[in-house]
Amino acid sequence: MTIRAIPLAVWIVSCGGDPNGAFPSGSADDQSEEDADEGSPSNSCGDTWSTDNDNVSTQPNDCLLWSSRSEDEMNWHDAASLADGLRGDCGNDCPESAGGYCSDMGPQWRLPTIDEITDAAKTQPDIENVDGWLWSCDTDFTNSQNALTADLSRAGTKFQKPKASSQAWVRCVSDN
Protein backbone atom coordinates (compact mmCIF):
# COMPACT_ATOMS: atom_id res chain seq x y z
CA MET A 1 0.00 0.00 0.00
CA THR A 2 1.37 3.40 -0.99
CA ILE A 3 0.44 6.54 0.90
CA ARG A 4 0.86 9.85 -0.88
CA ALA A 5 0.65 13.27 0.67
CA ILE A 6 -1.47 15.94 -1.00
CA PRO A 7 -0.05 19.45 -0.79
CA LEU A 8 -2.25 21.66 1.38
CA ALA A 9 -2.56 24.33 -1.32
CA VAL A 10 -4.04 21.77 -3.73
CA TRP A 11 -6.60 20.65 -1.13
CA ILE A 12 -7.65 24.22 -0.32
CA VAL A 13 -8.18 25.14 -3.97
CA SER A 14 -10.02 21.90 -4.75
CA CYS A 15 -12.41 22.59 -1.86
CA GLY A 16 -13.18 26.08 -3.08
CA GLY A 17 -10.64 27.99 -1.01
CA ASP A 18 -7.99 30.51 -1.93
CA PRO A 19 -4.41 29.24 -1.48
CA ASN A 20 -3.38 32.75 -0.39
CA GLY A 21 -6.33 33.34 1.91
CA ALA A 22 -8.41 31.68 4.57
CA PHE A 23 -10.14 28.32 4.48
CA PRO A 24 -13.63 28.38 2.93
CA SER A 25 -16.26 28.91 5.59
CA GLY A 26 -19.36 27.71 3.76
CA SER A 27 -21.45 30.24 5.65
CA ALA A 28 -24.00 32.23 3.68
CA ASP A 29 -23.44 35.12 6.10
CA ASP A 30 -19.88 35.48 4.79
CA GLN A 31 -21.03 36.35 1.26
CA SER A 32 -20.40 39.88 0.17
CA GLU A 33 -23.19 42.09 -1.11
CA GLU A 34 -21.55 41.86 -4.51
CA ASP A 35 -21.99 38.04 -4.49
CA ALA A 36 -25.65 38.41 -3.51
CA ASP A 37 -26.24 40.85 -6.36
CA GLU A 38 -24.85 38.35 -8.86
CA GLY A 39 -27.82 36.01 -8.49
CA SER A 40 -26.78 33.99 -5.45
CA PRO A 41 -29.82 32.33 -3.89
CA SER A 42 -31.19 34.09 -0.84
CA ASN A 43 -33.65 32.99 1.81
CA SER A 44 -36.70 35.13 1.18
CA CYS A 45 -39.26 32.82 2.75
CA GLY A 46 -38.60 33.65 6.39
CA ASP A 47 -38.03 31.67 9.54
CA THR A 48 -41.62 30.52 10.19
CA TRP A 49 -44.29 28.73 8.21
CA SER A 50 -46.63 31.04 6.30
CA THR A 51 -49.88 30.29 4.48
CA ASP A 52 -51.35 32.35 1.64
CA ASN A 53 -54.99 32.95 0.66
CA ASP A 54 -54.99 29.82 -1.53
CA ASN A 55 -54.04 27.73 1.53
CA VAL A 56 -50.55 27.07 0.14
CA SER A 57 -47.99 26.97 2.94
CA THR A 58 -44.34 27.92 2.59
CA GLN A 59 -41.76 25.96 4.55
CA PRO A 60 -39.20 28.21 6.23
CA ASN A 61 -35.57 28.23 5.14
CA ASP A 62 -35.91 26.05 2.02
CA CYS A 63 -39.03 27.80 0.63
CA LEU A 64 -40.74 24.56 -0.44
CA LEU A 65 -44.45 25.13 -1.11
CA TRP A 66 -46.96 22.70 0.44
CA SER A 67 -50.57 22.33 -0.72
CA SER A 68 -53.44 21.91 1.68
CA ARG A 69 -54.09 18.30 2.70
CA SER A 70 -56.33 16.26 0.40
CA GLU A 71 -60.00 16.12 1.40
CA ASP A 72 -59.92 12.33 1.45
CA GLU A 73 -57.38 9.61 2.04
CA MET A 74 -56.46 7.48 -0.98
CA ASN A 75 -54.19 4.63 -1.97
CA TRP A 76 -50.72 5.35 -3.33
CA HIS A 77 -51.65 4.48 -6.93
CA ASP A 78 -54.32 7.21 -6.93
CA ALA A 79 -51.95 9.69 -5.27
CA ALA A 80 -48.83 9.16 -7.40
CA SER A 81 -48.28 10.03 -11.03
CA LEU A 82 -46.00 7.88 -13.16
CA ALA A 83 -43.31 10.59 -12.82
CA ASP A 84 -43.71 10.54 -9.01
CA GLY A 85 -43.39 6.77 -8.97
CA LEU A 86 -40.30 6.71 -11.16
CA ARG A 87 -38.67 9.46 -9.09
CA GLY A 88 -39.33 7.35 -5.99
CA ASP A 89 -37.95 4.16 -7.60
CA CYS A 90 -41.29 2.34 -7.84
CA GLY A 91 -39.68 -0.86 -9.08
CA ASN A 92 -42.24 -3.28 -10.54
CA ASP A 93 -45.22 -1.54 -8.89
CA CYS A 94 -45.47 1.84 -10.64
CA PRO A 95 -48.60 3.93 -11.20
CA GLU A 96 -50.31 3.06 -14.47
CA SER A 97 -51.47 6.61 -15.16
CA ALA A 98 -49.34 9.60 -16.12
CA GLY A 99 -51.58 11.74 -13.91
CA GLY A 100 -51.86 11.56 -10.14
CA TYR A 101 -53.46 13.69 -7.45
CA CYS A 102 -50.81 16.42 -7.63
CA SER A 103 -50.79 16.67 -11.42
CA ASP A 104 -54.30 18.14 -11.25
CA MET A 105 -52.75 21.18 -9.51
CA GLY A 106 -50.34 21.90 -12.37
CA PRO A 107 -47.03 20.66 -13.76
CA GLN A 108 -44.91 22.14 -10.97
CA TRP A 109 -46.71 20.12 -8.24
CA ARG A 110 -45.61 16.63 -7.20
CA LEU A 111 -45.65 14.16 -4.31
CA PRO A 112 -42.95 14.96 -1.75
CA THR A 113 -40.05 12.65 -1.03
CA ILE A 114 -39.93 10.96 2.35
CA ASP A 115 -36.98 13.21 3.25
CA GLU A 116 -38.98 16.33 2.41
CA ILE A 117 -41.81 15.22 4.70
CA THR A 118 -39.53 14.26 7.58
CA ASP A 119 -37.43 17.42 7.20
CA ALA A 120 -40.59 19.56 7.24
CA ALA A 121 -41.85 17.72 10.34
CA LYS A 122 -38.68 18.74 12.20
CA THR A 123 -39.71 22.41 11.76
CA GLN A 124 -43.02 21.79 13.59
CA PRO A 125 -45.34 23.16 10.90
CA ASP A 126 -48.02 25.52 12.10
CA ILE A 127 -50.47 24.71 9.30
CA GLU A 128 -54.05 23.51 9.03
CA ASN A 129 -54.68 19.73 9.24
CA VAL A 130 -51.06 18.96 10.11
CA ASP A 131 -51.92 15.53 11.58
CA GLY A 132 -52.15 12.44 9.40
CA TRP A 133 -49.91 10.09 7.48
CA LEU A 134 -48.90 11.44 4.07
CA TRP A 135 -47.84 9.48 1.02
CA SER A 136 -44.37 10.15 -0.31
CA CYS A 137 -43.24 9.31 -3.82
CA ASP A 138 -40.70 6.87 -2.37
CA THR A 139 -41.06 3.12 -2.60
CA ASP A 140 -39.72 0.92 0.19
CA PHE A 141 -36.43 -0.47 -1.11
CA THR A 142 -37.06 -3.89 0.47
CA ASN A 143 -40.56 -4.37 -0.99
CA SER A 144 -41.73 -2.52 -4.10
CA GLN A 145 -45.37 -3.19 -3.10
CA ASN A 146 -44.96 -0.69 -0.22
CA ALA A 147 -44.51 3.09 -0.23
CA LEU A 148 -43.14 5.27 2.55
CA THR A 149 -45.35 7.58 4.61
CA ALA A 150 -44.64 10.16 7.29
CA ASP A 151 -46.65 12.53 9.46
CA LEU A 152 -45.82 16.25 9.63
CA SER A 153 -46.88 16.31 13.29
CA ARG A 154 -44.57 13.44 14.32
CA ALA A 155 -40.98 14.39 13.58
CA GLY A 156 -38.67 11.44 13.07
CA THR A 157 -41.33 8.86 12.23
CA LYS A 158 -41.94 7.14 8.93
CA PHE A 159 -43.66 3.92 7.98
CA GLN A 160 -44.09 1.70 4.99
CA LYS A 161 -47.63 0.94 3.85
CA PRO A 162 -48.95 -1.31 1.10
CA LYS A 163 -49.49 0.89 -1.98
CA ALA A 164 -52.72 -0.71 -3.14
CA SER A 165 -54.56 -1.55 0.08
CA SER A 166 -53.59 1.29 2.44
CA GLN A 167 -55.00 4.77 2.63
CA ALA A 168 -53.12 7.98 3.46
CA TRP A 169 -53.51 11.73 2.95
CA VAL A 170 -51.77 13.69 0.21
CA ARG A 171 -49.99 17.03 0.34
CA CYS A 172 -48.35 18.15 -2.87
CA VAL A 173 -45.13 20.17 -2.99
CA SER A 174 -43.63 22.63 -5.43
CA ASP A 175 -40.19 24.18 -5.67
CA ASN A 176 -41.69 27.30 -7.35
What are the phi and psi torsion angles at 121 (to 5°)? -60, -35
Using one digit for the tens of pLDDT, what is the confidence trace for 47-66?
899 999 998 999 998 899 99
Using one digit for the tens of pLDDT, what is the confidence trace for 134-156?
999 999 999 999 999 999 999 98
pLDDT value for 81: 93
Using one digit for the tens of pLDDT, what is the confidence trace for 66-88?
999 999 999 999 999 999 999 99
Is the residue at 164 inside a domain?
Answer: yes
Is the residue at 134 inside a domain?
Answer: yes
What mean pLDDT value characterizes the chain? 80
The fraction of the chain above a pLDDT of 90, given in percent, is 59
Total number of domains in the chain: 1
Q: What is the pTM of this model?
A: 0.73
Question: What CATH number does residue 123 fall under?
Answer: 3.10.100
Residue 88, domain extent: 56-174
Which residues make Cβ contacts (< 8 Å) with residue 145, sequence separation at least 6? 93, 162, 163, 164
Q: Reply yes or no on whether the pLDDT at 2 is more than 50.
A: no
Beta-strand relationship, 57-58 and 65-66? antiparallel
